[in-house]
Structures are given as C-alpha cells and as structure tokens.
C-alpha cells in the first residue's frame, strides 16, 4: 500500500545523513539515572492505564530514594509531586510500597516511582522537596502504616490517635475492629440488630 501524496516532505533526521539519531527525553532520563545511581534505579514496565506508553516508571532502592527524588526535582525538572500513596501486596516481598507520581511541566512528562518498604522500615520524607507531601505522607502513615524519616509531624490525619491498625492494609478485618469510640452514647442506643432495614 502506498502512502498518500499530501505534498508534505517528511522531516529529515540525523540518521538520514549517516549520523546517530538524537536520544528522546525519556531515553536521556533513563540513561542519566542509571549512570548516576546504578542499581538503585530499575526501570519497570509502564502501567496498565489507557496509554501505557505515556508513563515512565522506576523502582528505587529505599536507602537512596531521597537523593534520587532530589535529582529528579532539581536536575530533571520534575517540579510537581502529583500524588504519593501506599500499596499493600501481601504476597510481595517486601509487602509495602510507597508510590510517587511526578510531573515535569517543562518536558510535559509523567513519572511513576515505586519504593519497596519492609515492615517497620522507613523511607526519607519528601516534604523538604515538595511541601505538599506533608499530608500525603501523613495519609500513607495513617492508612498503611508507612513511615517517613524526617517528616515534620507524622501523626494520624484521617483517624484518631490510638486507633488500632491501618485500615487499607489487606489484613485489616473487613468487619473492622472495636475502636472504643462511641457516637453520642447518651443520645443513641447501641444497635441490637446488625442487619440494615
């Protein structure tokens, strides 16, 4: 099948003149991170979103994640922390992950970073780089039990202090736990019938 003749001439590349093609921004980023941080950065397959090719993703070594995040912000201009969340995979080793979603306005590029975290371990806080990480890290602590070293005030955000457990972990009981909290016991009697009407 022949290409339509629309009168346009395709753009010439360095390869057309016997030279090497210029690396894309993504290829340059991958090469730079691998050169600077070696085994602490591992590219992973793109996510399963609507356009998987649009997302570049890396798995970071927890002990070097702070300096890698700083390099991404300052050297590679990923100026915006879009989201920070936790993932609990009971079959995974380690079980927990911190996931960062970064965005570069200059490059119009998105980046997903996963940092595996063992039980009781901590990752460096990103609040010095992105002040908006404050509440996101508190939420990850509250709901998943993920710890962040250097966080200015890692206290519960959604649940009350003294709440037993972290409700977004897969091993949290579906029926909940007795929390000791009561809603206006002077005004409402406890339900005798747990079935909805």
**Predicted pLDDT of residue 50:** 46
User: What pLDDT is attached to residue 163?
Assistant: 82
Within a domain: 160: no
Structural domain includes residue 12: no
User: Whole domain around residue 138: which residue ranges?
Assistant: 23-43+54-149
Q: Does some domain include residue 154?
A: no
pLDDT tens digits, 111-146: 999 999 998 899 999 999 999 999 999 999 999 999
With cut-offs at 50, 70 and 90, classify the pLDDT of residue 89: very high
Query: What's the confidence (pLDDT) of residue 54?
Result: 54
Instruction: With cut-offs at 50, 70 and 90, classify the pLDDT of residue 172.
Output: confident
Q: Is the dihedral of CA 171, 177, 183, 188 positive or negative?
A: positive
Query: How high is the pLDDT of residue 164?
Result: 84
Domain assignment present for residue 95? The answer is yes
Check residues 45 and 30 and name the one with the higher pLDDT: 30
Cα distance between residue 188 and residue 183, in whole Å: 8
**Position 188 in a domain:** no
176 burial type by CB count under 10 A (0-12 exposed, 13-18 middle, 19+ buried): exposed
pLDDT of residue 189: 55
- The reply to whether 177 falls in a domain is no
- pTM attached to this predicted model: 0.76
pLDDT in tens, 175-184: 666 665 555 5
Selected residue with higher pLDDT from 187 and 41: 41
What is the mean pLDDT of the segment spanning 80-109? 95
Per the structure, the count of domains in the chain is: 1
The SS3 call for residue 15 is: helix
pLDDT of 66 > 90? The answer is yes
Residues 6+ apart with CB under 8 A from 36: 71
Q: Is residue 59 part of a domain?
A: yes
pLDDT at residue number 86: 96
Q: What CATH number has the domain bearing residue 119?
A: 3.30.460.80
Q: Whose CA is closest to 143, among 129, 127, 132, 159?
A: 159
Identify the pLDDT of residue 165: 85
pLDDT at position 65 is 97
Inside any domain, residue 15? no
């Amino acid at each position: 099948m022949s290409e339509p003749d629309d009168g346009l001439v395709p753009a010439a590349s360095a390869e057309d003149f016997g030279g090497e093609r210029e690396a894309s921004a993504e290829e340059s980023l991958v090469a730079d991170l691998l050169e600077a941080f070696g085994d602490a950065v591992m590219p992973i397959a793109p996510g399963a979103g609507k356009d998987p090719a649009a997302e570049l993703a890396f798995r970071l070594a927890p002990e070097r994640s702070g300096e890698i995040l700083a390099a991404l912000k300052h050297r590679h201009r990923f100026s915006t922390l879009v989201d920070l969340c936790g993932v609990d995979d009971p079959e995974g080793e380690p079980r927990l992950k911190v996931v960062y979603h970064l965005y570069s306005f200059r490059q119009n590029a998105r980046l997903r970073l996963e940092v595996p975290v063992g039980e009781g371990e901590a990752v460096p806080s990103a609040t010095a780089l992105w002040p908006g990480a404050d509440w996101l890290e508190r939420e990850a602590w509250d709901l998943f039990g993920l710890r962040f070293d250097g966080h200015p005030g890692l206290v519960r955000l959604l649940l009350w202090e003294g709440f037993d457990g972290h409700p977004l972990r897969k091993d949290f009981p579906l029926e909940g736990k007795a929390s000791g909290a009561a809603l206006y016991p002077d005004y409402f009697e406890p339900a005798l019938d747990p079935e909805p009407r």
